[in-house]
Structure 1
Amino acid sequence: MKILITNDDGISAKGLITLAGLLNEIGEVTVVAPSGQRSAVSHGITVHEPLVVKEVEFPVNVKKAYSISGKPADCVRLAVEDLMSDKPDLLISGINAGPNFGQDVIYSGTVSGAIEGMFYNIPSLAFSLDGADDEICYHAAVDIVNHFIKTNKNPKVIWNVNFPSCTTDEFKGITYAPLSGHSQYPFRFHKYEVTDKEWYYFPVSEAVGVLEAGSDVDYVRKGYITVTPLTFNFEQGADREEGIFSIGTTEPTEK
């Protein structure tokens, strides 16, 4: 099995190195990751400047490792289009330093890396860690990947997986969890004046983790690994009200 891993924390991130080491027992690992920190870049791609690629030495055994000057989605695109001789059988993005809960999956470069894999019909997962203790990642990550390979038959659905930062004694298990309806990292802006006609803002944020009962935040904070299936269809579930189509237009007809 050929496995592609990426992230948004950069080629030297601990979580990426941990993930590569764990996945060696499943298949042949290729690492294609940003050259530096790219958190919260969402699904951005690079279109107005060249993408610099460097093959790098990696701390654990992998087939190849490359750093890319762009974003996670760029990494996946270059990996599939050129850097890998064969399309990967599996893509995993992470392990992110920090959780990806609720509406923050929209901003997440980690989740977007997995979604880009989904666009290529590659079975894809996003892994994130809520804290610093990765003991549970070591114990459960491979089992989750193997279960995903066996059970997820829809390449248009990714799994967003959040790991708790706890000991094995505190670990409760693995569960499905819906996304919280809130941002984990709401931003406020501190204003600094340069002159009376020029000023700038510095974004500041603290993780708040709104504990909606039964949400991904709630379960992870209780010691569970949460799995939330995600797909990319902003229209799905929206009401198609008749009035929308009466503003001087007509329904399209087939010819």
Structure 2
Amino acid sequence: MNKKPIILVTNDDGILAPGIRTLIHIMNSLGDVYVVAPNKSKSGVGHAITMNSILYCDSVKIDNGNQKEWECSGTPVDCVKLAIHNILPKKPDICVSGINHGSNSSINIMYSGTVSAGIEAGIEGIPSVSFSLLDFDWNADFEPSIKYVCKIVKKILYNTISDKIITLNVNIPKLEKDKIKGIKICRQSESKWKESFDKRYTPKGRVYYWLVGDFVNFDQGMDTDEWALNNGYISIVPIQFDFTNYSILNILKSWNLVLFYLLCLNI
């Protein structure tokens, strides 16, 4: 109990992003911190990994903290894999990802490199949490988040949540400290992006495309992450990497019986 927990910190905005620098500062008060993060922004890469190109990971010294840091040419998931298998002296006690610049609530979980880093740690049996602030500004104010980030990480470190591997997805509204009402444990809101590609032209006339879209929330439930965030609360959604839709398993099993019967008739 006297040993400091080993904390792995990563993100998808890049190792120099103010969000991860804030997170590193917070984690230094809680344990022995190792940082393995992308050398540039890898937002929106989801659970991508590097397979067909060279992967670099170099030790760096960015500030005067006690943490040990590496910048990686790969994705957030690459960072977690390298950290666990090649860099850290032992498996970390927790992986903390973020603080992301911008929302990772609802359907955004599917695209987020920040959340995917946490999921990858969960696959390796490591408790993990991903933090996001609903402010895309590079100079976003992370100070109101500090108290809550610290409290949540402590809870994970010193409490067993479940025997099943899960990761927590935490989103923080863009509010002043005294305007945040508290924390809500939520489910993921049902939503999607209504997207299109804006066709544009370079000065030399070459066609290129720019992804644009609007967020559409279909879910009006008061137990969702979107409701919590829109009403001044921090949302926590426990997520898993088992994509099985258990509610329709029996329906599909009945399909198998019908298909087997039809195949037998054709013999």
**In structure 2, which of residues 113, 131, 145 is the aligned counterpart of residue 137 of structure 1?**
145
User: TM-score scaled by structure 2?
Assistant: 0.85
Q: 1:143 to 1:118 in 2, by over 3 A?
A: same
| TM superposition shift of 1:228 | 0.4
Q: What is the CA distance between 1:25 and its match in structure 2?
A: 1.2
Which of 82, 99, 103 pairs up with 1:78? Answer: 82
What are the equivalent positions in structure 2 for 1:183-194 lying under 5 Å apart? 183=192, 186-192=194-200
Whether 1:153 and 2:162 are equivalent positions in the alignment is yes
Moved more, 119-128 or 58-67: 58-67
1:174 aligns with 2:186: no
Q: After superposition, give the CA deviation of every residue in 1:164-211 in whole Å (9 maximum; x if it has no partner).
A: 12112211011111111113x5432112368xxx84321124667777
Matches of 2:238 and 2:64, distance apart in 1: 30
The one-letter amino acid of 2:259's match is I
Instruction: Show the counterpart of 2:255.
Output: 243
Deviations 1:82-114 (A, max 9, x none): 011111110011000001111110111011000
Using the aligned pairs only, state the percent identity: 35
Distance 1:155 1:75, change over 3 A: farther
Amino acid at match of 1:140: Y
Deviates more, 1:7-16 or 1:145-154: 145-154
- Structure 1 residue runs without a partner (length 5+): 250-255
State the SS of the aligned residue for 2:44: coil
Equivalent AA in structure 2 for residue 142 of structure 1: C
Q: Does 1:125 align with 2:129?
A: yes
Of 209, 212, 228 in structure 2, the residue corresponding to residue 201 of structure 1 is 209
**TM-score normalised to the size of structure 1?**
0.89
The amino acid that maps onto 1:66 is W
Aligned length: 246
Q: Which runs of 5+ in 2 are unaligned?
A: 262-267
CA distance 1:115–1:60, change in 2 (3 Å)? farther
Q: Residue 35 of structure 1: which of 35, 39, 43 is its match?
A: 39
Residue 54 (structure 1) shift: 1.2
User: Quick one: distance in 2 between partners of 1:7 and 1:210?
Assistant: 29
Higher-Rg structure is 2
Query: Deviation per CA, 1:199-229, whole angstroms, max 9, x where unpaired?
Result: 4321124667777342212211221111100
Distance 1:59-1:211 versus aligned 2 partners, 3 A rule: farther
CA RMSD of aligned residues (A): 2.2
Contact 1:136/1:163 (<8 A) preserved:
no
